[in-house]
Chain A
Amino acid sequence: MPEDAPSLRLQSLDYSVLQQCMHCGMCLPTCPTYDTTGIETNSPRGRISLMRTIADGELELSKTFSDEMYYCLGCLACTSACPAGVDYAHMFEAARADIEDHQLLDTSERRFWRSLSVKFIFMRPKWLRFIGSSMRFYQQSGLQNLLRKIGFMKLLPKNLQELEPMTPTIQDAFTDEIVAEFESPASTKPTYKVGMLSGCVQDIAFSDVNRDTVDVLLANNCEVITPRNQGCCGSLHSHNGEIELAKDLARKAIDSFDLDKLDAIISNAGGCGSHLRHYGRLLSDDPQYAKRAHQWDSKVKDIHEWLMSIDLRELGPLATPAEITYHPSCHLYHGQKVMKQPSQLLASIPNVTLKVLKEADWCCGSAGVYNITQPEQAKLLQDRKVDNIKATGCKIVATSNPGCHLQIQNGLGSDYCVRHPISILAEAYRNT
């Protein structure tokens, strides 16, 4: 451990958070890593006891502990199962931040990729879009196919090779090019005024979902403000132990909206929303931002949640009747507890038959950058998800998080179509 190592966040955490787990074990069967190994150490109850033992000063922050905390998917299934209301996410983020602060998993390769991605690219919206544009060129120019053919990818480290087919197909246009900063419903006076978060991965890989979100909001009488040049929300950073960077990004996000004038700030990516709702806690020790961060938390709404809380306008049919199944993203379902609304929305489209997905609330293995850091466990979960989807007989899967979208699409292959529920809704509104 470096000499000037900072004090442990786990030790400064409010003790009641650590003490809340009464080790009943009710969470065990919902944890994907425990399901794989059957070892307590790989379970929520085990991880919590390790975090508490560290906070109590009876165990050092060790490499074994660090590996364990990165084996955890951060899927938060354990929090939905926990009757005692344990705030696992809070402890988990503190633990990962301690691990990064103390450089416990430091290797030069890991450092390089982390600083390039988490610390550099995802901190700078322009760079992210520049990379997006270059990848768009790379994919459209045929360069991608050429390099794949000549086996260039085999020269990359194994983790990156596995990642390459996973890189999203970059959209022809980013959000700012297809969504105007201010958009109002055409015919009527708007009932609500909302801000829209365009996301980062969402923006370059799924900007069409952002367009669809605006369309659905307009159809429901909302005026939509989409600030230009938005950055990353910082969820990737806080889940990967970079709390300070996450704070910077949170401040930037808050600054880009006029909170007093908005009824809601809409997020359409499950993983981002779950983090976005906790800026209050993140910035609680920042006197300048603490109050506004709380106001922010109260205004952030997931798009499905928002639509079900207002008077939903009637939906038209899809172009062709469809059987659809829905995979809830972990951070929408377990993180934000938006559990029923997406299915309710889809089921209200006249010619959609919604089929129940077995183990729907089970992680697909995407889990942020988990599929890069823990490819084996990620693959296990991807296969399990794919099998369950195939068993429904549906060719269309709805899911509302870019990570899940890519993971599931890659697992299913091109015979299947993965869509954001809101894109399906947008299509239904276009047919009214």
Chain B
Amino acid sequence: MDTHSIVQELIALLGQESVLTKKEDLICYSFDGTASLKCMPLAVVFPTTTQEVSVTIQLASKHQVGISTRGSGTGLSGGSVPAENSIVIATGRMNRILEYDQENLTLLVEPGLVTNRISETVEADGLFYPPDPSSMKVSTIGGNVANNSGGLRGLKYGVTRDYIMGLEVVLANGEIAWLGSKCVKDVAGYSLKDLFIGSEGTLGIITKVLLKLIPKPEARKTLLALYDSMDDAAATVSKIISSKIIPCTLEFIDQYTLQCVEDFAQIGLPTDCGAVLLMETDGFPAQVESETEQMKSIALEMRAREVRIAATKEEGVALATARRSAFAAVARIRPTTILEDVTVPRDKLVEMTQFVRETAARHNVRIANYGHFGDGNLHPTILADERDEEEMKRVHHAMDDLITKTIELKGTITGEHGIGLAKKKYLKEQFQDHSYELLKLVKRSFDPNNLLNPGKIFDA
């Protein structure tokens, strides 16, 4: 492969200021938010239009080099870690809002737009874009679509997929396709846009996203319940759900996580509790009031030590923000944080959280546990030091056990972070029948030469 001429052609197509090739730059694009994974690309390019994305793909196809697309590189499964000798398409300069349609409640944006810019744009008009991954101040909407990201409000409002009405994608041969429409109902042909949601950059490159907006709930209340034991917190969640209350948020953090989060955020969380539940309800004021009371009494009934209700909107935001810092804050304990994303049916939550504790003891590893209790999505995070080989062996055994148990409980190995590289070896365990072949069949028909994010999800 002639790296030099590929680079020269890229520069000729996109201009010098849109192509990075220095070793120092390539190092900075060799990883994402995932621990211990890195690989240097041969170049990083910053297209500004769909057309530029298309010509870049054509060039890659001509030279048979891979393309890895990158939003902000906050992914937690290695999705935007470049494949060897590939070109990174960084979407950061395609970050415009193209059309804000308040009649049809849609927003058309480019993929590099940072997620929370969406809320900033529409909330003043009483509109709402619910998906709120903890990384929303950093992540891009393109990355959210490609990973079908969830967030703290998933329980009531669903995930990114539920707000995608249309996508423009560039295919592996450089052709451009528009999928979907502004119509609330649309059954023309296969729902191709849905194939691209959660495709982790392996089927095409998303260049435009048409988002659905909804009216913003009038009121919101945040509660914090403190427990001596994790099992009581889990029991509270089951009871709330079986009482037919669907709050917008039901998040939990365990004691390790709590200590780290408080260390960082310093908002006066009591660090001696065994677990904390963060609950949020939104909607009409009367409904919010009544749900708040109901959730409070259920928590107390389930032996919560104390239930606090945020006095102001700011206090509520501060609590949610503290929860959002959990993943990075636990790195305060040990340098390497290996994050799981296992998800189980909600009636299995107590069993799964107990299993996480037993696994930690069995393999003598430290596991901090937190996550989206309300939708069964746990983030047990193994805390280790990647330079300690013996410890890392134990860590891998613990991971294997967590995955096996999840599949046994009819759960999924990833609720929101995607397979990428990190979970690749476990995918076949979950897709045991012909479904695994079907995945590959889809990939081969969209990208026969395996140029788009090669090596991610599975080996095509």
Contact = CB atoms under 8 A, between A and B. Distances in A.
Interface stretch (A61-69, A226-234, A241-249, A291-299): A61-69
A38 B93 contact: yes
Interface stretch (A45-53, A146-154, A169-177): A45-53
B114 A85 contact: no
A19 interface: yes
A39 to B, nearest CB: 7
A156 interface: no
A23 B33 contact: yes
Contacts of B325: 26, 83
Interface stretch (B16-24, B153-161, B205-213, B429-437): B16-24
A82 B93 CA distance: 25
A53 B28 CA distance: 10
Interface string A27-47: 011000000001111010110
A68 B24 contact: yes
A20 to B, nearest CB: 6
B132 to A, nearest CB: 15
B28 A41 contact: yes
A155 interface: no
Interface string B247-280: 0000000000000110110000000000000000
B329 A39 contact: no
Interface in B172-211: none
Nearest to A30: B137
Contacts of A68: 24
Contact of A24 (B20, B23, B33, B114): B33
Nearest to A24: B328
Contact of A83 (B24, B30, B72, B264): B264
Given A25-B74, A82-B328, A64 B24 contact: yes
Nearest to A15: B387
B22 A64 contact: yes
B59 to A, nearest CB: 21
Contacts of B35: 22
A59 B264 contact: no
B17 to A, nearest CB: 10
B141 to A, nearest CB: 15
A83 B328 contact: yes
A315 to B, nearest CB: 27
A273 B263 CA distance: 23
B46 to A, nearest CB: 8
B263 A29 contact: no
A31 to B, nearest CB: 11
A16 B335 contact: yes
A356 interface: no
A84 B92 contact: no
Interface string A66-90: 0010000000000000111100000
Contact of B328 (A26, A28, A29, A50): A26
Contact of A23 (B32, B93, B329): B32
Residue with the greatest number of chain A CB neighbours at <10 A, chosen from B92, B326, B387: B92
Contacts of B31: 23, 49
A83 B260 CA distance: 8
A266 to B, nearest CB: 24
Nearest to A339: B266
Given A25-B33, A59-B27, A39 B332 contact: no
Given A22-B331, A53-B27, A28 B337 contact: no
Nearest to A63: B24
Nearest to A52: B27
Contacts of A82: 328
* Residues of A in contact with B, size category: 20 to 34
A46 B38 CA distance: 13
Given A53-B27, A59-B27, A62-B24, A28 B72 contact: yes
Contacts of B328: 22, 24, 26, 82-84
B159 to A, nearest CB: 20
B293 interface: no
B227 interface: no
Interface in A72-114: 82-85
Interface string A2-19: 000000000000011001
B138 interface: yes
Given A22-B35, A25-B74, A49-B27, A84 B135 contact: no
B400 interface: no
Contacts of A62: 24
Contacts of B337: 22
A40 B337 CA distance: 22
Interface in A366-409: none
A207 B93 CA distance: 47
Given A24-B74, A25-B74, A26-B138, A50 B24 contact: yes
Contacts of A59: 23-24, 27
Contact of A25 (B30, B72, B264): B72
Contact of A40 (B28, B93, B260, B263): B28
Contacts of B20: 39, 41
Contacts of B329: 83-85
B114 to A, nearest CB: 7
A20 B93 CA distance: 29
A23 B25 CA distance: 15
A83 B259 CA distance: 12
Given A20-B335, A22-B328, A85 B263 contact: yes
Contact of A19 (B23, B25, B135, B335): B335
B373 interface: no
* 7 smallest beta-carbon distances between A and B, as pairs: A46-B28, A83-B328, A84-B331, A83-B325, A40-B28, A83-B329, A19-B335
21 contacts: A22-B33, A23-B31, A23-B32, A25-B72, A25-B74, A26-B135, A26-B325, A29-B114, A29-B137, A39-B20, A39-B28, A41-B24, A45-B28, A49-B30, A53-B27, A59-B24, A68-B24, A83-B329, A83-B331, A84-B331, A85-B331
Interface of B: 20, 22-25, 27-33, 35, 46, 72-74, 92-93, 114, 135, 137-138, 260-261, 263-264, 325-329, 331-332, 335-337, 385, 387
Given A25-B135, A83-B328, A85-B331, 18 more contacts: A16-B335, A19-B335, A20-B335, A22-B337, A23-B31, A24-B331, A26-B325, A26-B328, A38-B92, A41-B25, A46-B28, A50-B27, A59-B24, A62-B24, A68-B24, A82-B328, A83-B332, A84-B328
